[in-house]
């Protein structure tokens, strides 16, 4: 096994700007860009987009550890849209038109949130580990600034008057990392990965029993539900997006079904 300085963690994305931002924000030279175009499913829920990405990437990437990321801009007044469709929305509608569509929205109606979900997987047979964070703000009345990409010319982080594009990359990354302890936990986890044996060529793993497999599925579902409940808690009971509510109900149903299956096997 090589030492930590020789090991690399792949950041799988077709977006070189996104890779550069993460490498700068985490300040880790061990993060290496792995360019891969991942199909974008038509999903509003960002967590579903991220899960789709990790499933696709693990079929294509055979060097470990690697991570994939999905983020999106959520506007509560639009019932959480564009969410996972943010890139398509911004590419097709454009910054100026988004501002025009929000022309008559005032005050809290212009509130917005950036949601991020990132998965890291350490080996071919391993379960992906999920991290996630959010950043509150609002949509500017018109696109402002020249730096960045995506919604940087639109998004004004809470506590500031400038858009990310006006604040610049250094300040943008500082705001994201300072307001989210999860970013630091993610960085610590990446560093811990460098102290473990590389798993790219390891194929010997214990064969899971059926109940052990169900336990893993149950834990995964519980994590998903916990994440969704955290997002729902940021809305009032009457504002929780229908899509988010339906996802929570699906996870609850799946959890109960898994418990019944495990119980039947145990008996």
Angle between helix 169-178 and 16-26 (nearest 10): 60
Report yes or no: 85 and 42 within 8 Å, Cβ to Cβ.
Answer: yes
pLDDT over threshold 80, residue 148: yes
Q: Please tell me the predicted confidence (pLDDT) of residue 204.
A: 32
Check residue 25 and give its pLDDT: 92
Cα–Cα distance measured from residue 220 to residue 227, given in angstroms and rounded to the nearest whole number: 11
- Would the pLDDT of 217 be above 90? no
Q: For the chain, what is the mean pLDDT?
A: 84
Q: What is the rounded CA–CA span in Å between residue 267 and residue 257?
A: 16
Contact by Cβ (8 Å): 140, 156? yes
More confident of the two residues 13 and 248: 13
**Res 71: pLDDT:** 94
Task: Give the pLDDT confidence score for residue 199 in this predicted structure.
Answer: 47
Q: Which pLDDT band holds residue 253 (cuts at 50, 70, 90)? A: confident
Over residues 67-89, the mean pLDDT reads 92
Distance from C-alpha of 31 to C-alpha of 62, rounded to nearest angstrom:
16
Q: Is the pLDDT of residue 36 over 70?
A: yes
Residue 65 clears pLDDT 80, i.e. is over it: yes
Query: Do residues 154 and 139 lie in contact, with contact meaning Cβ atoms separated by under 8 Å?
Result: yes
Do 198 and 64 form a contact (C-beta atoms < 8 A)? yes
pLDDT band at 168 (very low <50, low <70, confident <90, very high): very high
pLDDT for 6 equals 60
Record: fold of 9-205: Maf protein (3.90.950)
Upstream peptide bond of 82 is cis (omega within 30 degrees of 0): yes
Count CB-CB contacts under 10 A for residue 119.
24
Average pLDDT over residues 214-224: 78
pLDDT number for residue 10:
94
Please check the confidence at residue 210 and state whether its pLDDT lies above 70.
no
Secondary structure E strands in the chain: 9-12, 31-34, 66-74, 82-83, 111-121, 129-139, 155-157
C-alpha distance from residue 20 to each of 100, 134, 135, 233 (Å): 31, 19, 19, 32
pLDDT of residue 167: 96
On whether the CB atoms of residues 123 and 64 are closer than 8 A, the answer is: yes
CB atoms < 10 A from the CB of 48, how many? 18
What pLDDT is stored for residue 2 in this prediction? Answer: 42
Per-residue model confidence (pLDDT) at position 203? 35
Residue with more model confidence, 203 or 129: 129
What mean pLDDT do residues 175-202 have?
A: 77
Q: How confident is the model at residue 82 (pLDDT cuts 50, 70, 90)?
A: very high
Q: Say whether 137 sits in a helix, a strand or coil.
A: strand
Q: What is the pLDDT of residue 7?
A: 80
Percent of the chain with pLDDT over 70: 87
The answer on pLDDT for 266 being more than 80 is no
Confidence of residue 60 (pLDDT cuts 50, 70, 90): very high
Q: Is the model's pLDDT at 187 over the cut of 80? A: yes
């Amino acid at each position: 096994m090589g030492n930590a300085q020789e090991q690399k963690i792949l950041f799988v994305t077709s977006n070189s700007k996104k890779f550069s931002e993460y490498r700068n924000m985490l300040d880790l030279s061990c993060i290496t860009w792995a360019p891969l175009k991942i199909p974008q499913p038509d999903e509003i829920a960002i967590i579903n987009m991220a899960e789709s990405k990790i499933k696709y990437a693990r079929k294509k990437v055979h060097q470990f550890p690697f991570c994939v990321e999905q983020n999106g801009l959520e506007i509560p007044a639009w019932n959480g849209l564009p969410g996972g469709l943010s890139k398509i929305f911004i590419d097709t509608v454009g910054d100026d038109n988004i501002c025009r569509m929000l022309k008559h929205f005032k005050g809290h109606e212009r509130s917005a949130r950036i949601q991020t979900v990132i998965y890291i997987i350490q080996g071919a047979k391993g379960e992906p580990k999920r991290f996630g964070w959010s950043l509150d703000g609002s949509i500017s009345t018109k696109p402002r600034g020249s730096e960045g990409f995506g919604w940087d010319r639109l998004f004004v982080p809470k506590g500031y008057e400038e858009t990310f594009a006006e604040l610049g990359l250094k300040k943008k990354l500082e705001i994201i990392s300072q307001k989210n302890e999860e970013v630091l936990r993610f960085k610590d986890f990446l560093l811990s990965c460098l102290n473990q044996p590389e798993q790219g060529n390891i194929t010997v793993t214990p064969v899971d029993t059926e109940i052990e497999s169900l336990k893993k599925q149950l834990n995964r579902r519980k994590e998903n539900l916990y994440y969704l409940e955290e997002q729902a808690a940021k809305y009032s009971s009457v504002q929780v997006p229908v899509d988010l509510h339906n996802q929570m109900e699906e996870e609850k149903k799946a959890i109960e079904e898994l418990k019944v299956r495990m119980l039947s096997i145990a008996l």
